[in-house]
Amino acid sequence: MSLEILTQIGGHEDVIQRFAHAWDTGEISPAMLLPMKGRIGTARLEEAVAGPRDVVSFLACGALRPALDAYFADCRSHLSDRLWVLGVCPFCGAPPGFADVTEGGQRRLACHMCGGSWVFPRLQCPFCGHQTAKDLVRLDAEEKEEGYFISACKQCHGYIKELDRRVRWNAGSALIEDWGSPHLDLVAVHAGYWRPIPSLIQLARGAG
């Protein structure tokens, strides 16, 4: 699915081909695709694929997700609420790609890398841990859509898109909702914020 998305955005066919080739020849291994501190995948992965970091990260997520999702399936239930308070996935170590406000009003961060999720404080930046309310801002689309918003941090300038599922009870999965709301990424980027898991907007810009 991530390959289809990338192909639709266009401009990255050469990177996709090199990635597929390096994968087939064993030049890149699954371990090279895993999250590292501050990035997705190793430096050697970027060298092997010779593409923009955002595109390589996106491919690494797409390539590993089905395997990781199945791998962690049995241990998901062992993570009880509020047991994990860091802004990286307790299963695979990736930064969150989206956030859901659940029926019970909890903020649940979603991992695009392995499909995991975990409860996280609503008034804390998942990227730098900052908790000062005045530095945590909420951005909306120009034409505000109920239930969708952006949480941004003035300290580290990270942002994450959020969906209030109490309002949007029939919305799609975190990944689908993330990919389906590039206009919100534009709002955040225009306001000077960044996100660690590449957005479709970043990938499209990389192509241009």
Contact residues for Zn ion (CB under 5 A)? 89, 91-92, 94, 111, 113-114, 116, 125, 127-128, 130, 153, 155-156, 158
Least separation in angstroms between CB 167 and Zn ion: 25
Least separation in angstroms between CB 50 and Zn ion: 26
Could you tell me the CA-to-CA distances from 190 to 2, 24, 62, 166, 185 in Å, in that order?
25, 39, 27, 28, 8
Nearer to Zn ion, 91 or 98 (CB): 91
Nearer to Zn ion, 43 or 75 (CB): 75
Least separation in angstroms between CB 159 and Zn ion: 9
Least separation in angstroms between CB 47 and Zn ion: 24
Nearer to Zn ion, 111 or 204 (CB): 111
Please, how many CA atoms are within 13 Å of residue 195, restricted to the half-sphere of its CB?
Answer: 33
Least separation in angstroms between CB 152 and Zn ion: 8
Nearer to Zn ion, 53 or 130 (CB): 130
Strand pairing of 148-153 and 136-139? antiparallel
The pair of three-digit structure tokens given for residue 63, joined into one six-digit string: 């390539």
Nearer to Zn ion, 22 or 110 (CB): 110
Nearer to Zn ion, 22 or 178 (CB): 178
Least separation in angstroms between CB 207 and Zn ion: 26
Query: Given the structure tokens 């501190």, which residue do they identify?
Result: 37
Q: Distance between CA atoms of 112 and 199, rounded to whole angstroms?
A: 11
